[in-house]
Structure formats: structure tokens, C-alpha cells
Amino acid sequence: MKGLSDLTEAQLRLVAEYLEFLKFRERRKNGLQLDDTELEALYAEFADEDRELAESGLTEYAANLEREDAAQ
């Protein structure tokens, strides 16, 4: 298992996002109710980061496909 020091910047961002999700889930389990405005703000806060991670993932995926095609 990798330690945090072995993770890439993108992987560390995913870990941080997951930790935020766990905190959110715990607060929700304890009765926190968010209205639509709060939910919109929460989604907006991570929208750019989510888009960036998705795009970087697609770039890596495309590169892997190209390597596979070249190997055949």
C-alpha cells in the first residue's frame, strides 16, 4: 500500500476530496440538512477541480490507448 508521500498531486487531491466527503457524510448522518443554496455552493466549490481531474484522467486514458495500439 502506498503512503501519502508516494502519491501524485492528482491522487492527493482525490484523497482530500474523499476526506471531505467522509466529513460531509458524517455531518449528514448526525442530522445536518442542507438547503438547495448550500448544495449549489458545495457543488460549485468542487466543479472546476472535478472537471480538471476528469480531463486529466481522459488524457491519461487516451495515452494508454495509444500505447496499446502501438504495441499491436
Sorted by where each begins, the domain ranges of the chain are: 8-71
pLDDT tens digits along 1-46: 568 888 888 888 888 899 988 988 887 777 767 778 888 888 888 8
Can you point out the beta strands (E) in the chain? Answer: none
Taking the model in full, what pTM does it have?
0.40
CA distance 67 to 63: 6
Grid cell 484523497 — which residue?
A: 15
Rounded distance between C-alpha atoms, residue 36 and residue 42, angstroms: 10
> Which among 46, 53, 52, 55 has a CA at the least distance from the CA of 20?
46
Q: Positive or negative CA dihedral for 37, 38, 44, 45?
A: positive
